[in-house]
Amino acid sequence: MTSSTPEYTPRPGWRTRFGMGCRCLLLFLPLPARWKVRIYYTVFTHFFNIMCEGKGLFNYGQEPLCRDTAETLPRPGKWLDVGCGVGGPALLLAKENPDVTIVGLNITLHQVHLARERCGADGLSERVEFVHGDASGMPFEKGDLFDGLYAIETAFHFPDKPGFAREAHRVLKPGARFAMADMIREDRDVPWVHRWFGRVFHGWLGVLRMYTVPQWKRELGAAGFSEIETKDVSATALRDGLTLANSQILKQDPVLRTRFPRWVIRAIYWGNDFILRDIDRQPMRYVLVTAKA
Ligand SMILES: C[S@@+](CC[C@H](N)C(=O)[O-])C[C@H]1O[C@@H](n2cnc3c(N)ncnc32)[C@H](O)[C@@H]1O
């Protein structure tokens, strides 16, 4: 068994798999959104990290999506990464943009610890830091204002999206840039099986209520943003992303199996495959949203 994720050397054993399986079953219950996200990332941080071979990029679009999202942010500048995962995007962007400093914010405490470890190992602690907190109630004061904010594949988890829009506007300097890459819901007639599947699969994965593009535009506008623009990136971020995710699952299957019961690995593979087979008739898209504070 070969793995390029030495920092996550799996602890094989039925107890680990049983524990993961129980947590995964818990996710089928209609729990409060914040509990779901917490349980979800206790389980799936390992899953994603094995899948992306330790790069710490927990999004379907990987490096190209991170770069596209940050493209409109000012350089030099101080950026905020909302829902920063284990720090992969912030560390990648800090390496590629030596004139920026980045603060990563995340509600999942153990991911914040992992992000700090990666940051220290990459020697970027001078320019990148990670803090624990909620996107809808950010732990920043007036003196902390940012030149740019990005949020990659995270806002679909937020139970309070209007609160996130208000907080994003509050922590940005006037005229600063906002950029978000996320899955959105599309209100159109789709086969009932896709609508039903979307609810069950996404509910299980901690995504409880996606917004449509008009809803995002309304909330961002109400929060004070202007020049709100959206770009559909489904072909790369969703279609290519799901294809890549499934090839990674197949490649990493021997490592995944030491930590997760087979049914969890199969359910995720099968779920991705189900979406891919009829991707043009899914009630969701992947968009980039940019705006000015
Ligand atoms: C799919 S991961 C994406 C992580 C990262 N942006 C990346 O691309 O690698 C979603 C992240 O959002 C975080 N998150 C979920 N709800 C949050 C909230 N209310 N406030 C801050 N972070 C949150 C999760 O802990 C997780 O790290």
Does the Cβ of 48 fall within 6 Å of ligand 1?
A: no
In the chain, DSSP assigns E strands to 77-82, 100-106, 128-132, 146-152, 172-185, 226-232, 284-292
Q: Which two tokens stand for residue 271?
A: 């779920």
pLDDT reported for residue 189: 82
- What is the Cα–Cα distance from 18 to 94, expressed in whole angstroms? 38
Confidence of residue 154 (pLDDT cuts 50, 70, 90): very high
- Residue minimizing CA distance to atom 11 of ligand 1: 83
Does the Cβ of 107 fall within 6 Å of ligand 1?
A: yes
- What is the Cα–Cα distance from 17 to 15, expressed in whole angstroms? 5
pTM: 0.92
Does the Cβ of 152 fall within 6 Å of ligand 1?
A: yes
pLDDT reported for residue 5: 46
Closest CA to 257 of 12, 48, 38, 7: 12
Peptide bond into 174 cis (omega under 30): no
pLDDT reported for residue 102: 98
Does the Cβ of 70 fall within 6 Å of ligand 1?
A: no
Is the pLDDT at 230 greater than 90? The verdict is: yes
Kindly tell me the burial class for residue 175, based on how many C-beta atoms sit within 10 Å of its own C-beta (0-12, 13-18, 19 or more). Answer: exposed
Does the Cβ of 10 fall within 6 Å of ligand 1?
A: no
Does the Cβ of 49 fall within 6 Å of ligand 1?
A: no
- What is the Cα–Cα distance from 131 to 151, expressed in whole angstroms? 15
Domains, in order of start, for the chain: 1-293 (3.40.50.150)
Q: Which two tokens stand for residue 20?
A: 């993961």
* 1 Cα: distance to centroid of ligand 1 (angstroms): 30
* 248 Cα: distance to centroid of ligand 1 (angstroms): 21
Confidence of residue 1 (pLDDT cuts 50, 70, 90): very low
- Residue minimizing CA distance to atom 4 of ligand 1: 85
pLDDT reported for residue 35: 85
Q: Which two tokens stand for residue 165?
A: 């829009």
Give residue-wise pLDDT tens across range 75-118. Answer: 999 999 999 999 999 999 999 999 999 999 999 999 999 999 99
Confidence of residue 22 (pLDDT cuts 50, 70, 90): confident
Q: Which two tokens stand for residue 65?
A: 């999506």
The two beta strands, 146-152 and 172-185, are parallel
Residue 183 backbone phi and psi in degrees, to 5: -85, 140
Is the pLDDT at 17 greater than 90? The verdict is: no
- Residue minimizing CA distance to atom 27 of ligand 1: 85
Does the Cβ of 88 fall within 6 Å of ligand 1?
A: yes
Nearest-atom number in ligand 1 for the CA of 85 is 27
* 197 Cα: distance to centroid of ligand 1 (angstroms): 23
User: Mean pLDDT throughout 146-167?
Assistant: 96
Q: Which two tokens stand for residue 97?
A: 């943009």
Give residue-wise pLDDT tens across range 50-74. Answer: 888 889 999 999 999 999 999 999 9
User: Mean pLDDT throughout 233-253?
Assistant: 93
Residue 236 DSSP label: I
Dihedral sign computed on CA atoms, order 214, 220, 223, 228? negative
Give residue-wise pLDDT tens across range 261-277. Answer: 999 999 999 999 999 99
